[in-house]
Each structure stands twice: as structure tokens, then as C-alpha cells.
Structure 1
Amino acid sequence: MTTPAHSEESRSAVEIVAAEWSDVLSYGTDLINPAVPRAAYQHPSLRELWPMVSHGVLYLSRCTRYPWSRDIGTAFPQSGGGYRIRRESDKALLGVVDTLEEAYALIAASLPEGCGPAIDGTPDDLPSCAGLGREALPEDCGPAVEGTADDL
């Protein structure tokens, strides 16, 4: 008998990402405006990344496991309309656009150099922060934790 954990381990990163996209694309308006993941999914390069939704916003990662990468742009809706595109890893404002289509076209055009399909792993498993010209730093790899190891 196959256990869920064994089944998860036997799936490839491509299969894991495809299954997550299927889930995200089926979300109702209680979680996200369904037009948001549909707009992102139109771009083959974004479709290869791990999708996740939080507070009505679609986040994309080069990794399938927490603490996901933070080097892919994110489209944040503005109260007056349009979208502000930010990349968390370097706090860059990539642009402000009017439509979802423009937002995800900008995100696709701003992917890190050498960005390919998501890996089944964490940012620690990525070779570098391609496009940022340096090796990955802890702040690139998830939420910052204040204090020292002794505080944990």
C-alpha cells in the first residue's frame, strides 16, 4: 500500500507544481480573484513556478517547499486600481501597471537570470540567486527571524 508521504516523495517537481496550479486555478473568490492565477498561468515561464495564495495575493516561488524563494515579482492590487509589482529579495519595485495581464507580463519579463522550473526543495537547494549576481543569503529564503539562535 502506498502512503501519502511515499506518494508525495515519488512525484517529480513538475508533477507537484502542476497539481498545485490545478488547485490554485480552482480557488473561489473567497481566497483570490480567479482572474489573478489565470493571468499568471498564461505565461509558460510562470506556469513552471510554485504558486501559493495568501491574503488574496498570488506568490510564485522557484521552490516547492517552505521557506519558498522570494526572488520572483509579486503583483499587489492598489486601492485606486492597477497593480504594484515588487520583488521581496531585493525590495525592488519592478513597476506599476493598470491590468493583470500587464502585471504578469512584467513578472515574466523580470524573472531571475537562469530561472527555470521550480525545484522540489527549498532555497537552500538552489545554486544561487541568479540575476542578483550573488549567492543566496538567508534573507532571500523566507521570513526573517529576529534574535539569535540562543533565543530560539
Structure 2
Amino acid sequence: MAKDEGLTQAAKIVADKWRAILDSGDSLIDPSMPRAAYVNPRLRELFPTVSHGALYLSRCIRYPRPHDVGSLFPRAGGGFMVVRQSDGTILGEPDTVEEAIDLIVANLPAGCGPAIDGTAHDL
């Protein structure tokens, strides 16, 4: 597969996953979280997943993923927590989802671009 073809395929997989999450309603996650992330063009090209009410973004669409992009968690009692799981760093505990998204973007890994159709070993 040519590199351009691989990027196109990865972009389609990422777009389909975003669509599924955005269309899922509020049964899996507070809809404001993925909506706010999707509005940001840099985050929209990363691979999203949802688990236990948290939003995870990755530079890879396959396992193992690097977990070096901030993940967004709702805080009990309001607000959010942004954690980089690769090293356990709490990047911040902002009050608004917009502030949380800004924090994720500000802490993207160097050279972070669109998600690739590969694993952490392929970065």
C-alpha cells in the first residue's frame, strides 16, 4: 500500500470512529466532551475512543497505542481532568471542557499529526 493510500485509509477510519462517538448520544460519555474535541482540527484527526465516560485520543488506530496524548476525564462534582497516560502526568484540572481541550492541544507530542494506520511501534 502506498503511503498516501495508507493515510487516506487511516483518515477514513478516524472519521468513521468520530461519527460513531458523536452519534452515540449520552449513554457512553458526556456529549460535550467529544463535541469540543472534534471542533479542534488537530484533535479531529486523532483516533478517538471512549471508555468509562472518558475520551482518549491517539496518534495510532491500532494496538498498542502510545497513550502520549492527553485523555479527558470528567471530575466528580464538575470540571475535568486531563491526564497523559504514558507517564501518568496530570496535565491539569480545568473547570470547562473548552479549557480541557486547549490543555490537550498545548501538550500534544512533538510532530503530532494525523493518526496513522499502525501502532506505537510505527511512529
* Counterpart code for 2:12: E
Calculate the TM-score normalised by the size of structure 2.
Answer: 0.90
Q: Highest relative contact order (Cα 8 Å, sep 6+), 1 or 2?
A: 2
Secondary structure of 1:20's match? helix
1:107-122 to 2 correspondences below 5 Å: 107-122=104-119
Of 48, 52, 60, 2:45 maps to 48
* Cα distance, 1:51 vs structure 2: 0.3
Using the alignment, how far apart are the partners of 1:36 and 1:110 within structure 2? Answer: 17
Q: Percentage identity across aligned positions?
A: 57
**Paired residue for 1:72?**
69
Secondary structure of 1:79's match? coil
**Paired residue for 1:95?**
92
**Cα RMSD after superposing both structures:** 1.3
Using the alignment, how far apart are the partners of 1:66 and 1:92 within structure 2? Answer: 21
* Cα distance, 1:92 vs structure 2: 1.1
Residues 6-30 of structure 1, C-alpha deviation per residue, up to 9 Å, x if partnerless? xxx9x61111111111111111211
Secondary structure of 1:85's match? strand
1:3-152 to 2 correspondences below 5 Å: 12-126=9-123
* Cα distance, 1:121 vs structure 2: 0.7
Using the alignment, how far apart are the partners of 2:80 and 2:31 within structure 1? Answer: 16
* Cα distance, 1:67 vs structure 2: 2.1
Q: How many residues align?
A: 117
Secondary structure of 1:60's match? strand
